[in-house]
Structure 1
């Protein structure tokens, strides 16, 4: 497919998403199945157009004078992919698969020197207007720049599994992808985000992945797993383990010594952990599937309880931009209530002298600092472990600089640390 056909396909996919409220990944898959002539490069390019349009939906819509799939994609092609209206006019001419010819108004808007003239802050930030006050509270005067970074393309991050390999070995294995050392976590590798129609490497088919040398995991997720501080010989409860990404990272940090109990209330989320543990050579993780009384024997016995709490996922909006525009205040409130209940439950398992670690992949203060402050106020037996001490103790040599919130938490963002958005606070129980 040539560029005009790819543009037309991206417009059609966005129209399908809008009309049927269909998840983007599902709509793209359906398009590919219905158009089997399209190769992998075509599908990647169309997906890039769609996701680029959604990441900066507000600003592209403002620039084009309306939020239509056609306007969004045309704006992406010119403002992010570097085409010109004149070049598009030539490409569209005589191409049976091209969209309709550009109108005079579209050309004028695409050529505007300042396409965001007069745009309010939430449009420049590419955020829903109702979310803006919370982000302003979280980030202060730099909130627009922070939000803009959260609207960019994400890199592909990997974590070297030090139980089986070293970083140099994996870098050599993946050298054809031009990998770099990660900016924060010591065992991280980064393949930078591409531009235009570039394809993200499918590292899951690599021999090193099949041998368990590395996992796909954002640098932010790696960093908070490191900050959780699990040590060899400890008894650790991973209360919301999901597919096991942080349990695997902690097992490697513990050198397979001690015990991690991996639990999740959802069997479906937990299911992938078994194969991942085997592939990674992890021997110190005991999976506790959801069942009545599954964790009763652990009450008051854990050196460390790690809660990777269910959240809005706002810190991962670079990867799932459609979720940014679907989020509602009611959904935030439901997550906050769920997090509060999980914190209350998790505190029961911490032994005197032990540590409770709370993690989200969110940038919203309701889920982060406010949640932490509320827990600490209700539990005087817990005292904060200062976030700056945790960070400088683990990442003193990193060029990245995390944010430290008033209650003592650590916040990571694309703008400050080059990672997805994450939050962590740790609290020690008095002995």
Structure 2
């Protein structure tokens, strides 16, 4: 592919990404993979260059662009070498008209800008759209970080998580022997710290209420040393079904029990656990503002209406999780968001309406205090953005 053809390919992909963002379709990664599956002639350098163009355009446009061409012109506005490729040559984009060089729309949707600046500051907002590193969690049920550092000379310890490793961007993790052997999981360092915040120990009964595909469930299993009862729950059958093979590979299958929940009627499937859990983790559905480094087009999908529905769901799930906690046990609430209404304000509202709970702030090697909990963000901690709070049931 010529450099011009690469830019045009990015424009074509961006058209699909924008359509998907407006209609709830596939993520950008999926669209890119599908595009090149139908174009086997594109070499690895072509694919990498096109992908870089696509993500540069997505990160550049705070508001959803009119189309792929407008998104790519946003990049050309800052990079003359890209603008020069809009030359009308074969397979390339047509020249840019003066009227297309409109002013920038900022990094985030305008309705969110003030809220994000309040929680992480202006520099923090920009950092939410930086490229994320490739972090791994060492599975201590099978090995140690020191042992893997000997096997992976290109790896570095993560700055904060005691079992984290950082690999060069682009490493094919699933091609590594240590992946096949179940010695590692791909997991952002911040996500590893959330599991640490739960304080789960050997022999306990622990519930992961919103387990998804089980990334934090597996981290909890390692923290428990493979001993105890760990119940992974989710209302999404497809996501939860991915946990079983991962647990088997990690050597944690025998201690993990999976329960599929009916959204809105969760306690019907969890009745035997009411008031019995030593620790409950609620990694709640959220806006995902803290993961924009990995999914920058997600900010185009977020609307005030969707955020309001998500906040209401979080409030209900906190109460579901609270019902499971035994006296003296803990409830850990976390979101991969840096918006206060999903984090600090959500926990404050719970404490206002529910008696018998006190703040049991986790001691983490990163983050800063935010309300009753802790906030992690890329600018301050080099992790994805998270809020986490731990509460203890007094009675």
C-alpha contact (below 8 Å) 1:303/1:350 kept by paired residues:
yes
Give how far 1:284 is off: 2.1
1:426 maps to: 390
Corresponding position: 1:98 with 2:62? no
Aligned length: 386
2:114 maps to: 133
C-alpha contact (below 8 Å) 1:238/1:262 kept by paired residues:
yes
Question: For structure 1, which runs of at least 5 residues remain unmatched after alignment?
Answer: 110-114, 194-199, 396-400
Structure 1 residues 308, 94: closer, same or farther in 2, change over 3 A? closer
Determine helix, strand or coil for the equivalent of 2:142. coil
Equivalent-residue separation in structure 2 for 1:373 and 1:213 (angstroms): 39
Equivalent-residue separation in structure 2 for 1:132 and 1:362 (angstroms): 14
Give how far 1:348 is off: 0.9
Alignment of 1:41-80 (within 5 A): 41-58=45-62, 69-70=68-69, 72-76=71-75, 79=78
- Of 301, 319, 324, 1:349 maps to 324
- Of 246, 249, 259, 2:216 maps to 246
- Of 327, 331, 336, 2:302 maps to 327
Deviates more, 1:26-35 or 1:234-243: 26-35
Corresponding position: 1:311 with 2:292? no
Corresponding position: 1:404 with 2:369? yes
Determine helix, strand or coil for the equivalent of 1:256. coil
C-alpha contact (below 8 Å) 2:335/2:388 kept by paired residues:
yes
- Of 350, 355, 360, 1:380 maps to 355
C-alpha contact (below 8 Å) 1:52/1:153 kept by paired residues:
no
Equivalent-residue separation in structure 2 for 1:375 and 1:98 (angstroms): 55
Q: Structure 1 runs of 4+ off > 4 angstroms?
A: 19-22, 91-95, 101-106
Equivalent-residue separation in structure 1 for 2:276 and 2:259 (angstroms): 16
C-alpha contact (below 8 Å) 2:18/2:67 kept by paired residues:
no
Structure 1 residues 11, 172: closer, same or farther in 2, change over 3 A? farther
- Of 376, 381, 384, 1:417 maps to 381
Structure 1 residues 105, 349: closer, same or farther in 2, change over 3 A? closer
Deviates more, 1:68-77 or 1:3-12: 68-77
**Once the two structures are superposed, what CA deviation does each residue of 1:389-411 show, in whole Å capped at 9, x if it has no partner?**
x22xxx2xxxxx412112x2111
**Once the two structures are superposed, what CA deviation does each residue of 1:4-61 show, in whole Å capped at 9, x if it has no partner?**
22112101211233356453234323321332211233223212211121112149x9
Q: TM-score, normalised by structure 2?
A: 0.89
- Of 157, 166, 183, 2:159 maps to 183
Equivalent-residue separation in structure 1 for 2:234 and 2:80 (angstroms): 51
Equivalent-residue separation in structure 2 for 1:94 and 1:338 (angstroms): 50
Give how far 1:232 is off: 1.4
Give how far 1:2 is off: 3.6
Equivalent-residue separation in structure 2 for 1:171 and 1:161 (angstroms): 13
1:196 maps to: none
C-alpha contact (below 8 Å) 2:60/2:74 kept by paired residues:
no
2:193 maps to: 223
Give how far 1:71 is off: 5.0
Q: TM-score, normalised by structure 1?
A: 0.82
Corresponding position: 1:162 with 2:159? no
**Once the two structures are superposed, what CA deviation does each residue of 1:287-318 show, in whole Å capped at 9, x if it has no partner?**
22337843211111111111111111111111
Equivalent-residue separation in structure 1 for 2:269 and 2:86 (angstroms): 62
Equivalent-residue separation in structure 1 for 2:146 and 2:187 (angstroms): 18
